[in-house]
């Protein structure tokens, strides 16, 4: 069964975030992952965390093991540290589920 993550983030540097997405896509795809939905959010009516959110997306992996391998990948960690961490102020995993 496929495995999905529903994420909410607050992007504070669109240029760096765009560079992050470009750099991480080949790594994500090498594990069979892909973005299923990706939204820019204009208004948040309610948030359990109180964090600001301006982006909402789902990432799908073929299974849980592929998800784990992707997030443990050393090349992904470098991309995340150099680009994601400076371009995103907050992140929230809303849900993880099998489809």
Instruction: Mention the CATH class of domain 3-98.
Output: alpha beta
Amino acid 64: pLDDT? 96
The tens digit of pLDDT for each residue in 37-62 reads: 999 998 888 888 888 999 999 999 99
Query: Residue with structure tokens 């961490």?
Result: 85
Work out the average pLDDT over 77-90: 97
- Res. 33 pLDDT band, cuts 50 70 90: very high
Where are the chain's structural domains? 3-98
Query: Residue with structure tokens 């973005």?
Result: 35
Amino acid 8: pLDDT? 97
Query: Residue with structure tokens 């995103």?
Result: 88
The per-residue DSSP string of the chain comes to --EEEEEEEEES-HHHHHHHHHHHHHHHHHTT-EEEEEEE-S--S--SS-----EEEEEEESSHHHHHHHHH-HHHHHHIIIIIHHHEEEEEEEEEEE-
Amino acid 43: pLDDT? 87
């Amino acid at each position: 069964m496929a495995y999905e993550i529903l994420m909410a983030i607050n992007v504070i540097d669109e240029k760096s975030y765009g560079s992050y997405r470009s750099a991480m896509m080949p790594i994500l795809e090498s594990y069979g992952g892909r973005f299923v939905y990706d939204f820019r959010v204009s208004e948040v009516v309610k948030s359990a965390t109180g964090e600001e959110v301006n982006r909402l997306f789902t990432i799908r992996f073929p299974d849980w093991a592929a998800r784990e391998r992707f997030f443990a990948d050393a090349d992904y960690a470098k991309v995340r540290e150099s680009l994601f961490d400076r371009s995103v102020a907050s992140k929230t995993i809303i849900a993880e589920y099998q489809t």
